[in-house]
Amino acid sequence: MAETPVPPLLEIENLCLSYFTRAGEIPAVKDFSLTLRAGESVGLVGESGCGKSTVAMGIMRYMGNNGGIVGGSIKFRGRDMATLDENEIRRLRGSQISMIYQEPMAALNPSLTIGQQLMEVPLAHDDVSKAEAFERSVQMLTDVRLPDAERVMGAYPHQISGGQQQRVVIAMALLSNPALLLLDEPTTALDVTVEAGIVQLIAELSRKYDTALLYISHNLGLMLEVCERIGVMYSGEVVEEGTIDSIFTWPKHPYTHGLFGCIPLPHCDKNARPLVAIPGQLPLPHERPPGCNFGPRCTFFKGGLCDAESIAIEPVTTDDDPRHRVRCVRWKEFDADEAVVAGESKPPVEVGEPVLEVDAMQKYYEVHDHSMAALISGKSIKYVKANESLNFTARRGETVAIVGESGCGKSTFAKVLMGLESATDGEVRLEGENIADLPVQSRSTEQLSNLQMVFQNPNDTLNPSHTIGAQIARVIRKFGVETDKAKARARVLALLDTVKLPRDFAKRRPRQLSGGQKQRIGIARAFAGAPSMVIADEPVSALDVSVAAAVTELLTDIQREHKTTLLFISHDLSVVRYLADRVVVMYLGQIMERGTTDQVFAPPYHPYTEALLSAVPIADPEIEKRQIVLEGNLPSALNPPKGCPFASRCHSSLGDICDQERPPVQFAADRHAIACHIPMEELAKVEPVIKIITERAADVPPPAE
Amino acid sequence: MAEHSETADQTASTGAALMRAIRSFALLKESPVGVVGVTIVLFWITMALLAPVLAPFDPLATLQPFAKPGTVYAKGGTFWLGTDHIGRDILSRIIWGSRTVLVYAPLATLCAYVVGIIMGLAAGYRLGWWDLVLSRISDIILSFPVLVLYIIIIATIGASGLNIIIAITFASAPGIMRIVRGLVLDLRNREYVAAAETRGETPMYIMLVEILPNARGPLIVDACLRLGYVIITIGVLGFLGLGLPPPDPDWGGMINETRQMALAFPHMTIYPCLAVSSLILGFNLLADGLREISLRD
């Protein structure tokens, strides 16, 4: 590659960033180097607390009162950022360098209209007239493909959906035509089908305006789709960097390799090829080990070598990527197949008799409309149809996943099962007894202990005021497993063993535990009463990948051992494919498709399943996906489409019949149902969304040295 | 072996609890304002506890009327802060009066909290009719001017220590109920509450064991502020002649009895006033300090 005379857009050399707290200096980022040219897109990937967001803040020189650059340099267009004064920095922010944050609702001011907030950008940076600013804002809203831009200009943030808000935030970031766009988890808060649209939009716009992108995310699959190069960060350092190809095909750092082992890729299987979690957890910034930060968790660790001195990043010479660099002293000896133990294969679970039968279950919420129009027309009561005629069966030992995006009614369904809400109509039979309209207060101890739940938010699932031991013991006594105090105590310790936590955790309080550990306690609590069925509502979605894998494995192991039926509620199709035996796909309170995992993940598909599959990023370059990007938003549950709920966004809608009539439930095979107007023969002809092009990459030997 | 380690654990956990208590008190050091507050409050608590030792004279004895501060008493001793119109030593009365305040104010606050917490928990957790009725009741009580309310209550049931507590409870509980209700509305949506519900816990258990302990932070801060406010109230009641019946020393009563002579003999009024203000200041600073600490981290 010829040397270009133009200095790169962004040049970061050996950057060190620290925060200064009461506990002293905390190095957040160490020895970080990056070169970014116009139009390039580079990703930073890592788990929470690895310093990736701090890098973005450092580039913006926005480190707060207690943070600062302690070493190295950031050059933007050849100028050292450290030499700029406050005014110059302010002119740079928002005009040359823009940032897109994770939470669109928090990034927009709720008390100003979208228009006011957008126009502020050209008014502040380009010194234009109000009319001109308005013009540009409308143009930009059209560019980010918001329908009806003029109306959006006058709207307040809460009046538009989350996906639209994020488009507005993107429009705001691009209004001043920045040379560099920093994206900090730009799609993490959005649904997958919305995410797919946003990702495509950012790529198009960056091509159009030649903007350089710095993507920050924890999602390796997303990185694969949006970046040319990535840096993998661990505990404040880049441990490996290179082009997408070299990182995904020949990862050289044990951590990178470990990360791939934690992600449920299509070739994984909970029985034959289970996930391999990285043992241990991320060290706190002030407790980093000497030498390699990853040392204590590394299976390839060699005392005296890895923990001797801090390790410099060095180029990888064994492949054809000149930019592939790795921070590991033993990378040459690192042999993926040898170092990473493949997960033990386990026998599949035998599926028994039905445990849960859901029969035409409905849950409507009444909404009272007090408007004049409603009073006159006499329609003052409206119904939110949270669940509409749900039908499915879960058998003993089986894992049934309920998949759907936010607002599809999956959490309402869980509430009805748990007795926190009662069904409007239909039957839900658990072990043969109808519990559909049996509120939790009237359920017997047996019914209660038979059906327990693992909650989503690790910080919320345990009561911060009581010790772990007391909380588990309460469940044990409540369900009458053990009534004697000493025996209950012994049982608590046994449960801690089951979830692989040290016994002295019984005396700790939740705040002394990490997210993954709290979630393990949540699992222990759910299984304390030997339930026949456990509902897990997104149990790992709030956890880091390496921790999530361990928790997922734990959950399946306990389930296997106790022959428990698991109802797994999730929006993440990758985890679902890995974990579930059967899948129920929901949209707007209705079941679109249900069947075994293999059936649902292969044609014939329901068009919605097809779109979902296409939207989920997969961290495997050997997989090819058909692009299906859904337009529009989820319709309001208060006013759902008359015919098929999905008709308004469907890419293969048949027109009138879909809009007007409820789709019939067609059976592709026994217990594989699809609710769609399109004839089964047509659906069966659809090509698979996901295709594996070649053999698995890791099995292919890297080129000879 | 198991027995042994059990007892060792017990001692260790008691030790740890003690350490925690010391550490949480030491935390107050990080707020200078809080330290000043604690010092003032501790000063008055010491006064109250050691009143028989510290007070130079009998607070009820009529000794030498209209003595200026620093007058030496013929039968021995000095009136450091002077005497009042019927010859009682003001310093001794202030010291003994701190007992009245420091017994009735915390007791009244505690009663108000018990009632307010019960109402707030019920309204915030049960919602529906409970919430409607309890909230309207507290709205009605809060719509009265507080002073008028006190006068009506005390005038109806008579002035006594117990009645002061009843009156303060009646007037303060609705405010506390609102705070508790707000906290409960947030806490009841936590997943650990859902977990308790789905294992069939009674509402009473959920309210007292799962929710209340997690509301303690803001409530402790509010209690300190309210304690100061109750001291004012007791002072005002004493001033209005609705406090403890004489001759017991009572700061508000002392101010009231001597206010007509305040111009000629300012020491009779000023020192009790200073006593009341300093104690209230102490509690307010303590509350500020606690809030400052709780906002950190």
| CA end-to-end span of chain B | 41
Alpha carbons A129 and A123: distance in angstroms, whole number: 7
Give yes or no for a cis peptide into A604 (omega within 30° of 0). yes
Please name the residue of chain B whose CA is at the shortest distance from the CA of residue A508. Answer: B13
| Residues listed for chain B | 297
pLDDT of amino acid A705:
35
| A445 at interface of B, judged by CB pairs closer than 8 A | yes
Residue B275 binned pLDDT confidence (cut-offs 50, 70, 90): very high
Residue B206 binned pLDDT confidence (cut-offs 50, 70, 90): very high
Residue A440 is nearest to which of B13, B191, B200, comparing CB atoms?
B200
Cα radius of gyration rounded to whole Å, chain B: 23
pLDDT of amino acid A336:
58
pLDDT of amino acid A283:
79
Residues of B in contact with A479 (CB under 8 A): 199
Residues of A in contact with B216 (CB under 8 A): 465
| Pair A38, A212: CB distance under 8 Å | yes
Taking an 8 Å cut-off on Cβ atoms, the answer to whether B213 and A466 are in contact is: yes
Q: Can you name the CATH fold of B14-296?
A: MetI-like fold (1.10.3720)
Domain ranges of chain B: 14-296
Residues of A in contact with B200 (CB under 8 A): 440-441, 443, 445, 448, 478
- Give the SS3 label for residue B73: coil
AA identity, residue A380: S
Alpha carbons A15 and B189: distance in angstroms, whole number: 43
pLDDT of amino acid B207:
93
> How far apart are the CA of A495 and the nearest CA of chain B, in angstroms?
17
| Residue pLDDT, tens place only, B33-46 | 888 988 999 999 99
- For A440-466, what is the HEC assignment? HHHCCHHHHHHEEEECCCCCCCCCCCC
> How far apart are the CA of B10 and the nearest CA of chain A, in angstroms?
11
| Residue pLDDT, tens place only, A622-663 | 778 888 877 777 777 777 788 888 888 888 888 888 888 888
Give yes or no for a cis peptide into B247 (omega within 30° of 0). yes
Residue numbers in chain A where pLDDT is lower than 70:
1-6, 335-344, 378-379, 694-705
Hey, what are A559's tokens?
């389930």
Alpha carbons B78 and B80: distance in angstroms, whole number: 6
Q: Which has the higher per-residue pLDDT, A458 or B25?
A: A458
List the 188-207 stretch of A: residues with Cβ below 8 A of B: none
> How far apart are the CA of A165 and the nearest CA of chain B, in angstroms?
26
| Residue pLDDT, tens place only, B58-93 | 888 888 888 888 888 888 788 888 888 888 888 999
AA identity, residue A8: P
> How far apart are the CA of B268 and the nearest CA of chain A, in angstroms?
49
Residue with tokens 């399943």: A609
- Give the SS3 label for residue A40: coil
| Pair A210, A24: CB distance under 8 Å | no
- Give the SS3 label for residue A24: strand
Residue B214 is nearest to which of A418, A464, A479, comparing CB atoms?
A464
Residues of B in contact with A448 (CB under 8 A): 198-200
- Mean per-residue pLDDT for B216-244? 86
| Pair A58, A74: CB distance under 8 Å | yes
Alpha carbons B55 and B123: distance in angstroms, whole number: 48
Q: What DSSP line would sit under A605-673, residue for residue?
A: --HHHHHHHHHS--S-TTEEE------S-PPPTTS--SS-TTTTT-TT--SHHHHHSPPPEEEEETTEE
| Pair A551, A469: CB distance under 8 Å | no
Between CA A650 and CA A657, with CA A654 as vertex, the angle to 5 degrees is 110
Alpha carbons B17 and B5: distance in angstroms, whole number: 18
The structure's pTM equals: 0.82
Alpha carbons B211 and B207: distance in angstroms, whole number: 5
**CA distances to A193, A466, A609, A674 from A595, in Å:** 21, 42, 12, 9
Residues of B in contact with A493 (CB under 8 A): none
User: Which among A463, A474, A489 is the top mutation candidate for probing chain B, defined by the most B β-carbons within 10 Å of its own β-carbon?
Assistant: A463
Taking an 8 Å cut-off on Cβ atoms, the answer to whether B9 and A507 are in contact is: yes
Residue A448 is nearest to which of B191, B198, B209, comparing CB atoms?
B198
Residues of A in contact with B9 (CB under 8 A): 507
CB half-sphere exposure, B154, CA atoms < 13 A:
27
Task: Give which of A681, A621, A419 is closest to A535, Cα–Cα.
Answer: A419
For residue A471, the surrounding DSSP H or E stretch is helix A468-478
Please name the residue of chain B whose CA is at the shortest distance from the CA of residue A419. Answer: B198
Taking an 8 Å cut-off on Cβ atoms, the answer to whether A418 and B198 are in contact is: yes
Taking an 8 Å cut-off on Cβ atoms, the answer to whether B198 and A445 are in contact is: no
Hey, what are A89's tokens?
């920095």
| Pair B238, B244: CB distance under 8 Å | yes
Alpha carbons B56 and B83: distance in angstroms, whole number: 12
Taking an 8 Å cut-off on Cβ atoms, the answer to whether B194 and A455 are in contact is: yes
Alpha carbons A411 and A677: distance in angstroms, whole number: 27
Alpha carbons B51 and B96: distance in angstroms, whole number: 6
Q: How many helices (H) and strands (E) does chain A have?
A: 24, 26
| A41 at interface of B, judged by CB pairs closer than 8 A | no
Give yes or no for a cis peptide into B249 (omega within 30° of 0). no
Taking an 8 Å cut-off on Cβ atoms, the answer to whether A460 and B190 are in contact is: yes
**CA distances to A128, A468, A584, A593, B109 from A580, in Å:** 57, 30, 10, 15, 56
| CA end-to-end span of chain A | 22
**CA distances to A118, A130, A341, B178 from A122, in Å:** 8, 9, 55, 46
- A533 contacts: CB under 8 Å, gap ≥ 6: A355, A356, A394, A430, A450, A451, A452, A564, A565, A566, A567
> How far apart are the CA of A559 and the nearest CA of chain B, in angstroms?
19
| Pair A212, A40: CB distance under 8 Å | yes
> How far apart are the CA of B142 and the nearest CA of chain A, in angstroms?
30
Residues A5, A8, A9, A10: what is their CA dihedral angle, to the nearest 10 degrees?
Answer: -150
AA identity, residue A476: I
- Give the SS3 label for residue A151: helix
| Pair A235, A291: CB distance under 8 Å | no
Alpha carbons B293 and B297: distance in angstroms, whole number: 8
Dihedral sign (CA B97, B98, B102, B105)? positive
What's the maximum distance between 2 C-alpha atoms anywhere in chain A? Answer: 83
Q: CB atoms < 10 A from the CB of A387, how many?
A: 27
Percent of chain B surpassing pLDDT 90: 34
Alpha carbons B214 and B212: distance in angstroms, whole number: 5
Could you report the predicted ipTM of this complex, rounded to two decimals? 0.80
Alpha carbons B169 and A52: distance in angstroms, whole number: 54
